[in-house]
Amino acid sequence: MTSQIVVAGGINMDLFIEAERFPRPGETFEGEHFSTGGGGKGANQAVAVARIAGRKSAVELVGRVGDDLFGAELLRNLRSYGVGVAGVQVAQGESSGVALIFSDATKQNRVLPVYGANATCGEAQVADATRLVKGARALLVQQEIPLDVTLRCMEAARTRGATVFLDPGPARDLPDGFLRAADIVHPNQVEAEALSGVEVTTVESAARAAAAIRVQGVPVVIVKLGPDGCFVDSEEFTGHVPTFEVEVVATVAAGDAFAGGLAVGLSEGLSLRDAVVMANAAGALCVSKPGAQDSMPSRDEVDAMVRTGRLLRG
C-alpha cells in the first residue's frame, strides 16, 4: 500500500534535562529530572503524522540511525507508533544522532544536537525518498540532514506531484533553489527572521516576514508564533490564525506536531485555513504534555480540540 505521506529527515535520541534554570559558565547546578525518548525533527514529524492520521501505512520515514543501542531503540520506537521504516538505514560504524534538551522553569528549551548518522545521509536516502514518494500526496523535510540530499528529495517529490512541506529548522545557509523547491514553508520566529531579514515579534512583523519569504518563490508561507498562533501568506488565504489555550508543560516538538497536523489536513482535502487550524490544535496539544514523540496527539484529541477548544485572541 502506498503511504500517503513521506518524511525525510533527522532521527535522534533525545536526552531531556529539566532544571529551574541553566547553569552559568563554570557553575555546577543540580537538575530536577532526566529522561530519554525518540526525537529528531524528521522522526517527530513522522510520528505526528501516524498519530494524527490514525491509520496504518499513513507515513514512511527516510533517514539513518547508527549501529548502536540508540539506533536499535529508535527503530523499535518508530515501529511502535506505526511509522514505516523501510527507508531508515543503519549506518555501520556511526553513532546515532542525539540531542541534549534543556528545559527551565519557564518551560522554554534549549537544544544541543550532535547529528551522528544523520550527517551521513546521501545517495541511498535520495533513492529511497524517490521510490517511496511515488504516489504519495506529500513529502515533509527539515534541515537536519545534508541540505543537498534534502533538496534532491524535494525535487523528486515535486516531479512526482507530491506537495513539499519545508520546516526550515535548524536555520542554515541554504543552497540556490532550496526554498523554491518547496510548496509550503513553515518557519518559527527565529527561522523566519533568518529567511527574511525581518525580526518577528508580533503578528504584524510576521506578516512582513511571510511576504518577504513568499517573494523568494514560495507559494505558501506560514510563520509560527507560538502562543500567538501563526500568520499565513498565500494566494488561497492570507491572515492571522490564532491558536488554542492550553497549560504549557514543555515546548519541545510543538513545531513538529504542527507539521504533522498541517500535512494530514491538506492531504485529506481540507482548505488551507482549516488545515492550519488542525495544525495549531496539534501543536497546542503537544505543548500540554512532556516529551517529544510521546507528546504527539491522537486524531481524537486533535478533532476534539478543533471542535471544542478555546481560541486565544491575537
The residues annotated with a catalytic role in the active site are: 256
CB 67 within 8 A of CB 89: no
AA identity, residue 87: G
147 Cβ contact partners less than 8 Å away, ≥ 6 residues apart: 172, 174, 175, 178
**Nearest C-alpha neighbor of 257 from the set 233, 234, 289, 221:** 289
Determine the Cα angle at 240 with ends 235 and 241, to 5°. Answer: 105
Task: Go through 119-130 and write b for each residue having 16 or more CB atoms within 10 A of its CB, e for each that does not.
Answer: bbbeeebbebbb
Q: How many CB atoms lie within 10 A of CB 81?
A: 18
Task: Go through 7-43 and write b for each residue having 16 or more CB atoms within 10 A of its CB, e for each that does not.
Answer: bbbbbbbbbbbbbeeeeeeeeeeeeeeeeebbbbbbb
